[in-house]
Amino acid sequence: MIEILNDAEVARGRETGALVARILQTMKERTQVGTNLLEIDAWTEAMIREAGAESCYVDYAPSFGRGPFGHYICTSVDDAVLHGLPHDYALRDGDLLSLDLAVSLGGVVADSAISFVVGGSATPQQSALIDATQRALDAGIAAAQPGGKVGDISAAIGAVLRGAGFPVNLQFGGHGVGSTMHQDPHVSNDGRPGRGYTLRPGLLLALEPWVMADTADLVTDADGWTLRSRTGCLTAHSEHTVAITADGPEILTLPR
């Protein structure tokens, strides 16, 4: 299903996006060496409740995960890249942490992810991974123009990721958002320009480049949710929710 939102719904999406951005920034600021992933989950739950928003994750039970997710945020460390299930783990200096959060407020969903290094400074490889996903996200957003095609976005993202020397996995990518979290169109992290669905004002897309340092293959953790690089290499993930407007793309999940 593809939803085209009216102006009032896009305005609500702006509020949802601001909340998601504020929570992610707060989690980044609070996270220190020794912070437990379950603390991040609890802090996120508290902020979602205080805002009167709804988690998109707690009861989420798609075909690619084991039963309801049961937590409020995805916490993916080092070789974990997507759908990281919060568990009893105290973060260590130098861990590469990706946080992914989707909530619904006023009936409209926003979805965003950030990656950063806990504690001390990032290694060159950590910086390269994070930088590639951020630059790919910027390129994808720039390509999200009314009248353009989904393939324009995919091609822009893929060119940056491949140009940075990273393999690209096409199993999981961006997606439409609206009244629910995962909608059509799927936005692959590589593709050909000029192909696919035509971008129209009122369409909300979550764009989410992610990379693994030396493989395109994923393995599922024993927890039934967390996706890791097959080789154990480091990974990174960046995501924003973008509204297609008549004037071009508008990022809804930027911190205000």
Q: Which is nearer to Mg ion, 120 or 176 (CB)?
A: 176
Site string for Mg ion, 170-199 (x = CB under 5 A): ------------------------------
Q: Which is nearer to Mg ion, 35 or 241 (CB)?
A: 241
Cβ 102 to Mg ion shortest distance, Å: 5
Cβ 128 to Mg ion shortest distance, Å: 22
Q: Which is nearer to Mg ion, 77 or 113 (CB)?
A: 113
198-221 as b/e, with b when 16 or more CB fall inside 10 Å? ebebbbbbbbbbbbbbebeebeeb
Site string for Mg ion, 227-246 (x = CB under 5 A): ------------x-------
Bridge-based pairing state of the strands 204-207 and 210-212: unpaired
Bridge-based pairing state of the strands 96-105 and 74-77: antiparallel
Tokens of 113: 């992810």
Say how many C-beta atoms besides its own lie within 10 A of residue 42's C-beta.
15
The residue within the footprint of Mg ion, chosen from 9, 78, 79, 100 (CB under 5 A), is 100
Q: Which is nearer to Mg ion, 78 or 239 (CB)?
A: 239
Closest to 153 measured CA to CA, from 167, 168, 169, 173: 173
Closest to 157 measured CA to CA, from 75, 238, 235: 238
The residue within the footprint of Mg ion, chosen from 206, 207, 211, 252 (CB under 5 A), is 206
Region from 18-26, 97-105, 134-142, 225-233 binding Mg ion, contact rule CB under 5 A: 97-105
CA dihedral sign, ordered 26, 236, 241, 140:
positive
The residue within the footprint of Mg ion, chosen from 9, 111, 152, 190 (CB under 5 A), is 111
Whole-angstrom Cα distance, residue 32 to residue 23? 16
Q: Say which residues have a Cβ less than 8 Å from residue 60's Cβ, sequence separation at least 6.
A: 68, 69, 181
Cβ 33 to Mg ion shortest distance, Å: 25
Q: Which is nearer to Mg ion, 41 or 111 (CB)?
A: 111
Q: Which stretches of the chain bind Mg ion, using CB under 5 A?
A: 100, 111, 113, 206, 208, 239
